[in-house]
Amino acid sequence: MCSAHLSGKGVGPYASGAARTVSRVGFRDIADGLRRAIEAGEIGADRSLPSESELMDRHGVARMTVRRALSLLEDEGLIEVVPGRGRFVRAGDGVPDAVRVEKKYEQVVDEVRRLLASGEVPAGGRVGTAGEVADQFGVSPGTATRALVLLAAEGLVTPVHGQAWFAGDLGAEANRTAAVAGRLRAAIAQGRFPVGRRLPGELTLAEEHGVARVTVRRALAVLEAEGLIENRPGRGRHVLAATVSDE
């Protein structure tokens, strides 16, 4: 009888939806499963390997068995321990992916700085959500967020309503933008602006809310990012949702 039987899609216990039946799992079986997951790209940059406790529970083995499996992968040069962070896949150049993530985060900072300095994103302009920045530069949302937080500390960007980031240090303007976005969001939820309804123009909204037109423009950009409204060229901004869920 074989020491372990793994069934399902992909690479055994690390594939989504995989079924698993384990019997007398040895350290080599655990190492093989991790190796396949790494080769398939299921464990790579931005993700540490499962902890020793997780592997113990997953395979029903003692900690020593798990450690022998991890030591085997370390000896093979496939993974490396990053002090205080866990075990990560070693990059092809001998640098662990955990360190490579740091470089990606710095690259995003440099790229956004360049966009701001070149005027491609003007002062007060919408930089995007962390997810949008992540997609733009091919990194994880967490890496993008770290970059944006650093840029905010330098006064280069400001978060509005905890979702979209805008160029420049908006100060109290960020709070005003969030407040206007909140009022418009509530008006949509309450049916004041039903589905398909065209919103009042920026100038009208600015006068109604007692703020600058640019503040209204940022607030509308937040609602567009949330999918509540859309800007139809030549026709203004229209409502896409009748209610807003807090779920």
Reported as a single tens digit per residue, the pLDDT across 23-47 is 478 888 998 888 888 877 787 765 7
User: Which of 48-62, 63-77, 88-102 shows the lowest mean pLDDT across its residues?
Assistant: 88-102
Is residue 194 located within the same domain as residue 225? yes
Is residue 179 located within the same domain as residue 223? yes
Q: At which residue do the structure tokens 């976005």 appear?
A: 181
Average pLDDT, the chain: 77
Q: Is 214 exposed, middle or buried (0-12, 13-18, 19+ CB in 10 A)?
A: middle
Residue 217 CB contacts under 8 Å (≥ 6 apart), including other chains: 202
Order of all β-strands in the sheet with 164-167: 126-129, 164-167, 157-160
Is residue 69 located within the same domain as residue 123? no
Does this model's pTM top 0.85?
no
Which tokens is 83 given? 């002090």
Please give the distance of CA 6 from its chain centroid, rounded to a whole number. Answer: 31
Indicate whether 244 belongs to any domain: no
Indicate whether 94 belongs to any domain: no
Number of domains in the chain: 3
Q: At which residue do the structure tokens 């798990």 appear?
A: 66
Which tokens is 109 given? 């900072």
Is residue 76 located within the same domain as residue 9? yes
CATH number of the domain that 209 lies in?
Answer: 1.10.10.10
Mean of pLDDT values over 220-239 = 86
Number of C-beta neighbours around residue 169 at 10 A: 14
Indicate whether 15 belongs to any domain: yes
Is residue 160 located within the same domain as residue 189? no
Q: How many CA atoms lie within 13 A of 71 on its CB side?
A: 7
Reported as a single tens digit per residue, the pLDDT across 156-176 is 888 876 567 888 876 776 778
Is residue 180 located within the same domain as residue 201? yes
Last residue of a domain, one of 112, 142, 167: 167
Is residue 82 located within the same domain as residue 103? no
Distance, CA of 166 to CA of 147 (rounded, Å):
14
Last residue of a domain, one of 135, 150, 167: 167
What is the chain's length? 247
Mean of pLDDT values over 64-89 = 82
Number of C-beta neighbours around residue 111 at 10 A: 14
Indicate whether 184 belongs to any domain: yes
Indicate whether 246 belongs to any domain: no
Give the pLDDT band of residue 56 (cuts 50, 70, 90).
very high
Is residue 154 located within the same domain as residue 185? no
Indicate whether 197 belongs to any domain: yes
Is residue 37 located within the same domain as residue 71? yes
Last residue of a domain, one of 167, 187, 211: 167
Among the listed residues 126, 154, 144, 240, the one whose alpha carbon sits nearest the alpha carbon of residue 189: 240
| pLDDT computed for residue 247 by the predictor | 36
| pLDDT computed for residue 246 by the predictor | 38
Is residue 85 located within the same domain as residue 110? no
Domain that holds residue 62: 5-89
Is residue 62 located within the same domain as residue 112? no
